Structure 1
Amino acid sequence: MERILTGDRTTGKLHLGHYVGSLQNRVKLQNEYDTFIILADVQALTTHFERPELINKSIYDVAIDNLSIGLDPNKITMFLQSKISAIAELTVFYSMIVSVNSLRHNPTIKTEAKQYGYDDLSYGFLGYPVSQAADITFCNADLVPVGDDQIPHIEQSRKIARRFNESYGKGKEFIKEPKALLSNNPRLIGLDGNSKMGKSLGNAVFLSDNAEEVNEKIKLATTDVNRIKITDKGNPEICTVNKYHEVFNESEHKNINEMCRKATIGCVACKKLLANEINSILNPFREKRGYYEEHKEEVRDIILTGSEKANIVGNKTIEEIKKAMNIYI
């Protein structure tokens, strides 16, 4: 089987945007690929270095989110980034062959720096793509499931692998050039109509939310601001709730659109329909979540067992790389 590397930064619980964008597909991919899931706690420090307690708690939150949506610990290798020595070593080796200018011009770095309001970038933040290249290549992953906004990172990883092979491989590709496995899944906007659903933006439905929390959040979701009374005809094209119906209530989406335009359904009723659909999706996850939250030692064992396996794979990679670089005695 080909191997994929995917995962999440441990900066808080995952939300519906993660589910639609990657997690839903991740469950399917585990049956088709040798799947490595990284809990990226070191990379979480690039933006949350002042909140280590959040990162520690989030290790369990993110792991449970992944397990609750259907990832099978017997099919996947879930591991903690900070426990994999090969990743740390590769990050150092790779940093020797990557220029600062190439990192500064990385469009994803530019976007995220602006998002977090960073004028003076830390070494760790600027070098995030180098660390990510180490994440991907320590296990010689063939594919990395990503959205189109992450393609620059994958291209950077491919360039690093290519240059490393050219410098030390002597014609041998001992580090695979990873390929992007693009998803056609839609990008879910925030409940406030923001172009992005974010953990810290106050516009997300989390996978861990209970039914009442989902109901209350959907009640506050942005609709057509010009529709004041129930008798006013709406414009679903500018309604956030409508966009959610398109994703989570596809079979009724067209009908709801027509009713909105004809003012035969009000925003309150429309939101209730959406909340019901989302809760019906989350209900099976809640049952699994309840189990894992009561058995955190089992979650810990899954992470540690996966980390042991990942270290075996990574140590073999590092051994070959050091021999190629003549860094051994």
Structure 2
Amino acid sequence: MVSGMRPSGALHLGHYHGVLKNWLALQQETDCLFFAADWHALTTHYENPGQTGELTLEMVIDWLAVGIDPEQATIFVQSHVPEHAELHLLLSMITPLGWLERVPTYKDQQEKLKERDLATYGFLGYPVLQGADILIYHGSRVPVGEDQVAHVELTREIARRFNHLFGREPDLAERVSAILKNLDPQAGADYHRLRQCHQEQGDAEALATARRWIDEYPGLSTPDRDRLRAHLEGGARQILTEPAALLTRSARLPGMDGQKMSKSYGNTIALREPLDQVAQKLRTMPTDPARVRRTDPGEPTRCPVWALHQVYSDAETQAWVQEGCRSAGIGCVECKKPLMEAVTAELEPIQARARELSADRGQVEAILAAGSDKARALAGETMHEVRRVMGLRSR
């Protein structure tokens, strides 16, 4: 599983509940690679390159402070793995221009960021770089929100086109025979029997059984599994894995003005914001506009504070808020007190850990160096095969 985040400023509670909590769960379930997408940041903020390095380090400190664990996940910086750029270049050779111009966010972002000059190749081609980020690690799942599904689908199309162009090996049968000779004789016989049933009789169950056998047989390398699948199904070998979008559950956290929490709206609570400022922001957060006086009954569904209660408060507190607001039994300041306590309790350990990491940046740099070395080793395996099938000379 592969996912990245642009270093564009201080992380806030919207990032924590919308992205990082999903990462915390995923690192427990599967092999994860999390990277700081500093090259992606330059596609829209290339005029301020001096800030990118410091923002990257600060962002990684926030990741570690919330619990992203380098013992469970590979954490690295995109630009420290130059193989990403090489694969991006090679994929750009085969990606039709029309595919990029149809990406839904292309014109949308140009409109939203009209104060920036985004008439650049880097901005047009960033979905190809995003595809390279995923494909270079054979990422089978990509955690995204609904607005990013189109990007994953484009990555699938690029991988499919690449495999169609470069995945047909004239000596595939000979390569498969060599693979099977190194396996248990009975295993080879089973493979040939299942392949024959599938190709001659259209036996769907035989195909499913053979696929499981290929996936589960111990000791096979990824290229060998790919060749066996291609030989089984009579098609091109899958050199680059087509990823699937993993739609993640994310809380749409309201900002202090009721809109979605976003740096562009200036309505955030940063993960490392002083707690007295956090309390003040919550205390002055707007409420139901129809509730002018303390004695006026309110309606929680019209109040942005209620949306925060749905994230932070238990069922008992939520029931207390609904009944008290609608009956005017509690005031708005009283309603906000449980939120201030819950948000403070959430941020205190994160901020304590961030202070420790900020005081020992060498530890953070060491984590990134180790993660980048591991990522480069994985990326190098993919690039060796990509160069080979594209007819490029080995180094």
Deviations, residues 26-55 of structure 1 (Å, cap 9, x unaligned): 112111111101100010011211222321
TM-score by length of 1: 0.94
RMSD: 1.5
Q: Which residue of 2 aligns with 1:28?
A: 25
Q: Which residue of 2 aligns with 1:289?
A: 354
Deviations, residues 245-292 of structure 1 (Å, cap 9, x unaligned): 101113322321221111112122222321211111112212211211
Q: Contact conserved, 1:165 with 1:174, CA < 8 A, in 2? A: yes
Q: Which structure 1 segments of 5+ residues have no match?
A: none
Please give the secondary structure, in 2, of the residue aligned with 1:59: helix
Residues in 2 aligned to 1:121 and 1:248: alpha-carbon distance in whole angstroms:
42
Residues in 1 aligned to 2:54 and 2:294: alpha-carbon distance in whole angstroms:
44
Please give the secondary structure, in 2, of the residue aligned with 1:94: helix
Q: How many residues align?
A: 325
Residues in 2 aligned to 1:162 and 1:221: alpha-carbon distance in whole angstroms:
49
Q: Contact conserved, 1:142 with 1:177, CA < 8 A, in 2? A: yes
Residues in 1 aligned to 2:152 and 2:145: alpha-carbon distance in whole angstroms:
11
Q: Which residue of 1 aligns with 2:92?
A: 95
Q: Which residue of 1 aligns with 2:224?
A: none
Residues in 2 aligned to 1:53 and 1:235: alpha-carbon distance in whole angstroms:
48
Q: 2:335 aligns with which of 258, 270, 276?
A: 270
Q: Contact conserved, 2:83 with 2:376, CA < 8 A, in 1? A: yes
By percentage of residues, which structure has more helix?
Answer: 2
Runs of 4+ in 1 over 3 A off after TM superposition: none
Q: 1:116 aligns with which of 106, 113, 120?
A: 113
Bigger shift: 247-256 or 148-157?
A: 247-256
Deviations, residues 62-86 of structure 1 (Å, cap 9, x unaligned): 1011101111111111111111111
Give the AA of the match of 2:240: I
Residues in 2 aligned to 1:128 and 1:99: alpha-carbon distance in whole angstroms:
14
Please give the secondary structure, in 1, of the residue aligned with 2:338: helix
Please give the secondary structure, in 2, of the residue aligned with 1:78: strand
Residues in 2 aligned to 1:102 and 1:285: alpha-carbon distance in whole angstroms:
42
Q: CA deviation at 1:119?
A: 7.4
Does residue 226 of structure 1 match 2:290?
A: yes
Please give the secondary structure, in 2, of the residue aligned with 1:226: coil
Distance 1:38-1:264 versus aligned 2 partners, 3 A rule: same
Q: Which residue of 1 aligns with 2:380?
A: 315
Residues in 1 aligned to 2:333 and 2:120: alpha-carbon distance in whole angstroms:
46
TM-score by length of 2: 0.79
Q: Which structure 2 segments of 5+ residues have no match?
A: 169-235
Residues in 2 aligned to 1:264 and 1:80: alpha-carbon distance in whole angstroms:
52
Residues in 1 aligned to 2:344 and 2:304: alpha-carbon distance in whole angstroms:
18
